[in-house]
Amino acid sequence: MDPDAKKPNEAQRKALGLFLYWALLELRLLTGSGQAEQARDLVDAIHNLPALMWSETFSLSRFREGFLRHYVQRWGDQREYLGRLDDVEKMGDGEGEW
């Protein structure tokens, strides 16, 4: 199990819901402009998040490094996905705000 594995708190889950909202909007834009390969990569990066964000074994670092970083390395981070995850992580310490 990952050292940071824990169920996200309510504020983190709300922020992760917004994270998914923005990613889904990007998917609409990508598919509408014929960028199917990038859309497929984004779906691959985020498809587990809706279920995992309710799990006691969720790990933000694994999600970031194991899934999302690959997308960002290939396509860039125009939507600032990695920074948004940093903000979600801070919410676990009572610091961050979305």
Looking at residue 92, what is its pLDDT? 82
Q: What is the pTM of this model?
A: 0.89
98 domain-assigned: no
Tell me the three-class secondary structure of the chain, residue by residue.
CCCCCCCCCHHHHHHHHHHHHHHHHHHHHHHHCCCHHHHHHHHHHHCCHHHHCCCCCCCHHHHHHHHHHHHHHHHCCCCCHHHHHHHHHHHCCCCCCC
Query: Is the residue at 2 inside a domain?
Result: no
| Position 96 in a domain | no
Indicate the number of domains in the chain.
1
Range of the domain at 20: 10-91
In a domain, 18, yes or no: yes
Residue 5 falls within a domain, yes or no?
A: no
Q: What is the pLDDT of residues 22-41, one digit of tens each?
A: 999 999 999 999 999 999 99
In a domain, 4, yes or no: no
